[in-house]
Amino acid sequence: MLKHLKKETIRSFILAFHRLRFKVGALVSPRRAAAGAAALFSTPVRPKRANLDAPADIPAPLLREVPLASGAVTLYEWGNPATQPTVVLIHGWNGWALQFASFIAPLLANGYSVVALDHRGHGRSAGRRASLSGFIDTTLELLATLPTLSAVVGHSLGGAAAACSLAHTRSTAVKLVLIAPPNNPRVFLEKFAAMLGMSSKFTDAVQIWLEQHYGRSFSEVSVGRIAPSIQADTLVIHDPADSVVPFGHGESYARLIKGARVSPLAGWGHFRILGAPDAIRLVVDFISGGDSQSVPEKPSASMVG
């Protein structure tokens, strides 16, 4: 308990420091303060080292570091992506590949190979900073290397990156699953701004810095812009009471992507939904055409949030 109180005290002190830092900075040097806030916003928090190891209840993955133009990332592979239909799993902000651990065995049992990754600055991959733009670049590069790609499953910001990637490729042969996807990265920036007591004017300045630095505007990666270009058969799964990304974000994907549908899944929140047996069943049934085998009744022993 004392250890927990100490951690909370340190966290409160750091938060107070940044609030004061950006409040003063916005008055003294707005551009510099916006750049500092954007850098902090772009710095993900990595999970505990123990969470990066595969749990005992799934097969061990083949781990390899893959050099990409957007930066080297760690890939996790199960099965043979060269010969089997392949499902790619894309984690969200502050996430890691093995958050999808509960999906691995059911997908393998249905004849799929599985490829997951740790994005730059996440999990086992190198790097300190990350962005949705970087997520998109990495996802596009990864998908282009897989000759037997069958489906892409993305959670949270990874869902937004997956949607943007398939809008770019306009593929009709790949299925798309979006789990609790934000329809615009602004939702995360506004939560960050609220935490640090940032004014709307200063928040706008941070957004401008991010857009200029990473090379994509928030509007061009919003669902309203990308949805018309998505040709993939699409399923959206979202908890109606999600406190991180509101349910309306997922609904907007289902409304704007032709033929897409949304499956509300109550009681699991934003992160635990990745271990929900009903979510796994929905995903595997959707990808396999409704003829899935060996979907678990319990989630994997791995952490999902």
Q: pLDDT tens for residues 133-144?
A: 999 999 999 999
What integer pLDDT is reported at residue 293 of this predicted model? 57
CATH class of domain segment(s) 46-183+222-305: alpha beta
Give residue 292's pLDDT band: very low, low, confident or very high (50, 70, 90): low
The 8-class DSSP code of residue 245 comes to S
Give residue 298's pLDDT band: very low, low, confident or very high (50, 70, 90): low
Whole-model pTM: value is 0.91
Looking at per-residue pLDDT, the higher value among 199 and 298 belongs to 199
pLDDT at residue 173 is higher than 60: yes
The 8-class DSSP code of residue 268 comes to S
What do you get for the CA distance between the two ends of the chain, in Å?
A: 21
The Cα–Cα gap between 77 and 63 comes to: 7
The Cα–Cα gap between 159 and 169 comes to: 15
pLDDT at residue 50 is higher than 90: no
Q: Which residues contact 167 (CB under 8 A, 6 or more apart)?
A: 226, 227, 229, 230
Give residue 304's pLDDT band: very low, low, confident or very high (50, 70, 90): very low
pLDDT at residue 305 is higher than 50: no
208-224 pLDDT, tens digit per residue, is: 999 999 999 999 999 99
**Phi, psi for residue 161 in degrees, rounded to 5:** -65, -40
| Contact (Cβ atoms closer than 8 angstroms) between residue 275 and residue 281 | no
| Contact (Cβ atoms closer than 8 angstroms) between residue 71 and residue 219 | no
Q: Which residues contact 107 (CB under 8 A, 6 or more apart)?
A: 78, 87, 114, 284, 287
**Phi, psi for residue 276 in degrees, rounded to 5:** -75, 120
E strand or H helix that includes residue 89:
strand 86-90
Over range 63-86, report the average pLDDT: 95
Over range 37-56, report the average pLDDT: 91
DSSP states of 194-219 as a string? Answer: HHHT--HHHHHHHHHHHHHHHS--TG
**Phi, psi for residue 169 in degrees, rounded to 5:** -80, -25
The 8-class DSSP code of residue 46 comes to P
Q: Are strands 175-179 and 86-90 parallel, antiparallel or unpaired?
A: unpaired
For the chain, the domains span 1-41+185-215, 46-183+222-305
3-state secondary structure of 129: coil
Over range 270-287, report the average pLDDT: 97
